[in-house]
Amino acid sequence: MLAESTYSMYHDVGEIIESVNTMDQDVALGVTMTITQAEIPFLREAARLGEFAVVYRVARTQAGGGFGDQERHPFAWGVLVYVDGQLARIYSARGLAREWTGLDRLEKWLRDQGFWYWWTRNDLEPLGMGQTESEDDADEGDDTGVPSTPSVPFPPPTPEF
C-alpha cells in the first residue's frame, strides 16, 4: 500500500487558455505539489530541495509586466522544483502561480534563489514559429538546410567556492 502524501495539491483547474488547461499540463509533467517561494530557503536548508529547477512554458494567468495584451502574448514562464524527489510548482505568498514574461528576469530570480542551473522546456508553442532571421544572420547548417546545433557541455560545471 502506498503511503499517503503529506502535501496537498492545489491547481487552478478553471484556467483554460488557448486550449491549455493548467491542471492537465501539470499532470502531464508529473507535478504533485505546490510550494511558495518563501519556502525555498527553508527547504534548501533542510536538504529537501533539488539542485536544479525546471523552467517551463505556461498559459498566462497574470496580466501586466509590459505584456498586458494576453491575446498577443498568451504564454509566460513558470518554475518547477524538486522537493523530496517530487515536482512542485512555485506559487507566490498570495496563492497565485509565479509567472515571468521574460527569461532574463527569471534567470536573475533563479540565481537569487540559489539555483546554479536549470532545465528549460516549451511544450506549448509550435516549433519553427519564431521570428524568421534574415539570410545573412542564419546559421549555414549542412546540405539538408537544418541549422547546425552547437555542442553544449553537460552536466554544467560545479562552481568551486
Q: What is the pLDDT of residue 28?
A: 85
Question: If you average pLDDT over every residue of the chain, what do you get?
Answer: 73
Give the pLDDT band (50/70/90) at residue 46. very high
Reduce the DSSP state of residue 92 to 3 states and report it: coil
pLDDT in tens, 120-158: 988 887 777 655 454 444 444 445 444 444 444 444 445
Per the CB < 8 A criterion, the answer to whether 84 and 42 are in contact is no
pTM: 0.64
The string of DSSP letters for 2-19 reads PPPPSS-----TT-EETT
Place of cell 560545479: 158
d(CA 137, CA 55): 28
146 phi/psi in degrees, rounded to 5: -90, 125
Indicate the domain borders of the chain: 16-121
Within the chain, what is the greatest distance between any pair of CA atoms?
61
